[in-house]
Structure 1
Amino acid sequence: MKWVVAALTLTLTGCASVSELEQSHETMDVISGKSPREYADCVKQELASSRDPLTEEQRGDGLRLIVPQKLGAGAGPAALVEIDKRSNGSAIKLRERLSNFPLRPGDVRKATTACISGS
């Protein structure tokens, strides 16, 4: 029953665009000791089994990853991961579509969290 409600909600809410996600509040705002390249590569590897390939964009000294939705090709992004260069690593901001919807897939948040530290 929960999946029916989730599917109906996703259908009714429509698609978010990159510009709409840019205007939304961050669901995560953290700092990592990894460089933007190291962090982006880690997130892409973590999401490789659950998502289509992520789109990567160069932004000054940092990177932006556009995470596709799990369902529906061309349905707009599910999340943005903004990775800005800092003197000792990276500043990371995650912006998710349906950020306050409790049944949204947790793979993006799990991947971005797992890549904060470690080798």
Structure 2
Amino acid sequence: MSAPLGILLRAAGHEPAHYALVLATGAAAVGREVVLFATNAGCRLLLRDTPLLADPREALLRERGVAGIGTLLEAAGELGLRRIACEAGLRAEDIEAGTLAPGVEVAGVVTFLAAVGGGQIVSL
């Protein structure tokens, strides 16, 4: 069994969020345990109604046959990806935990690090 992959999403934009999901779903699809940890502005990806779905890049990706954030979020759910919103990051961005998508945990960096253990961490 391969080591877990931790993905730390700090940025708010479409591109880092999209690629965080590309990495996460790709790794999960090949059998790796994946933990997606979003903090600060990156927490917006984990909102129930993420504004990233309204980004014009979503339509552009669809036109070009590339899975967008919406498709990748569905895949993440089907693949059982663990998604954690940073408690301090939520407070820093004034985001209420009740606005997060179903299944998103609220925890701190220690929980993220413990979940990844000796695995790899990628930061976007």
Structure with more relative contact order (C-alpha pairs < 8 Å, separation 6 or more): 2
TM-score bracket, shorter-length normalisation: under 0.3
Q: TM-score, normalised by structure 2?
A: 0.27
Normalising by structure 1, we get a TM-score of 0.27
